[in-house]
Copies of this chain bind each other. A is one copy, B any other.
Amino acid sequence: MATGEAGREIRLVSRPVGEPVPGNFELVEVPLGELGDGQVRVANRFMSVDPYMRGRMNDVKSYVPPFELGATLTGSAVGEVVASRSEQLRVGDVAVHGLGWRDYATGPAAAFTVVDGTAPLSHYLGILGMPGLTAYAGLVDVARLAPSETVFVSGAAGAVGSAAGQMARLLGAGRVVGSAGSETKVRYLTEELGFDAAFDYRSGKVTRLLADAAPDGVDVYFDNVGGEHLEAAISVMRDFGRVAACGAVSNYNATGPVPGPRNLGLVVGKRLTIRGFIVGDHAQLRPGFLDKVGGWIRDGSLVVPETFVDGLERAPDAFIGMLRGENTGKMVVRLGGTA
């Protein structure tokens, strides 16, 4: 790679109002420039689009600051080191990092984490990365899932949901129920991912659909969706049930306040716990998580669905499509980056 070469990046040029549109994004070419001392350059092979990014596109304070207008977007990515002026990484190393939305990531060595690269690289953005650990932490640390309990997962065909549902089963849940946005996904959940029951939330009242799928009630609700799903879960939950509140994708494109569940008063009588969490607070679980989940993948007990979109220029489409639920499993953008 010659020093004069250019890379491509995607910038946020306007803040979405409601659903993002392609015009909110811009693809630009930038010169790669010389590496500084201690710097590393990675040719990205895969980059991630995740629901939480939608929140960062709004100009509001949250647990992560908003994306800046005109700046290149960031997010998880994985690739190969193509140049290094650090002793910590060598050309050919596989590294994960937070400089996605671009062909080449350049930064200080500390910004990159070398992985063994024995799994398919895209897995480091999904089942072995943030979404996988999110699912695991939500079940283990937040909901404290106990053997033989009934677990309900919304957005169950998504990256986190498909992991959470399968992990719940493998951790000993008695019954695992999922919701998704199409009949095809629903069949996938029960036929391929081992869910005991699943329903298409677009096919009726969620409370009715959930009550039919979990006739004895729900002990743990892994909430990726919020809104009507949360209200339904509260309605059917058993005494001492726990909600691991991971996200509320049903609200992410909302342009105004979203009414909360109308039955929140039930948390008192049923002694429910609703607990929000973000994966960064549960990093101490990572070693045990990698051990356990790595084993489940190797022995085939955990299926890893992924949906690929090709080309950096299509990353905005992948992001928009993911928010619409066009993916099954982790939505990943495959990049052309080569050394």
Residues of A in contact with B (beta carbons under 8 Å apart) = 55, 62-63, 226, 230-231, 239, 245-248, 251, 257-278, 281
Asked if B258 and A259 sit within 8 Å, CB to CB, the answer is no
Q: How far is the CB of A216 from chain B (nearest CB, A)?
A: 16
Asked if B269 and A63 sit within 8 Å, CB to CB, the answer is yes
With the chains together, A179 CA to B315 CA distance in Å?
A: 49
Asked if A273 and B271 sit within 8 Å, CB to CB, the answer is no
What residues on B are CB-neighbors of A268 within 8 Å? 245-248, 276-278
Asked if A273 and B273 sit within 8 Å, CB to CB, the answer is yes
With the chains together, A192 CA to B139 CA distance in Å?
A: 46
With the chains together, A64 CA to B82 CA distance in Å?
A: 67
- A–B Cβ pairs within 8 angstroms, 27 of them: A55-B269, A62-B269, A63-B239, A63-B270, A226-B264, A245-B267, A246-B268, A247-B268, A248-B264, A248-B265, A257-B262, A258-B265, A260-B263, A261-B264, A264-B264, A268-B276, A268-B277, A269-B276, A271-B275, A271-B277, A271-B278, A273-B273, A273-B275, A273-B276, A274-B274, A274-B275, A275-B275
Asked if A251 and B273 sit within 8 Å, CB to CB, the answer is no
How many protomers of this protein does the assembly include?
2
What residues on B are CB-neighbors of A245 within 8 Å? 267-268
Q: How far is the CB of A222 from chain B (nearest CB, A)?
A: 12
Chain B residue with minimal CB distance to A271? B276
User: Interface of chain A, helix or strand or loop or mixed?
Assistant: loop
What residues on B are CB-neighbors of A275 within 8 Å? 267, 271-275
What residues on B are CB-neighbors of A263 within 8 Å? 257, 260
Q: 6 nearest interchain CB pairs?
A: A260-B260, A267-B276, A257-B262, A268-B276, A260-B264, A63-B269
With the chains together, A258 CA to B234 CA distance in Å?
A: 14
Asked if B274 and A267 sit within 8 Å, CB to CB, the answer is yes
Chain B residue with minimal CB distance to A267? B276
Chain B residue with minimal CB distance to A276? B267
With the chains together, A257 CA to B259 CA distance in Å?
A: 12
What residues on B are CB-neighbors of A231 within 8 Å? 260
What residues on B are CB-neighbors of A266 within 8 Å? 276
With the chains together, A58 CA to B239 CA distance in Å?
A: 20
With the chains together, A8 CA to B108 CA distance in Å?
A: 83
What residues on B are CB-neighbors of A261 within 8 Å? 260, 264
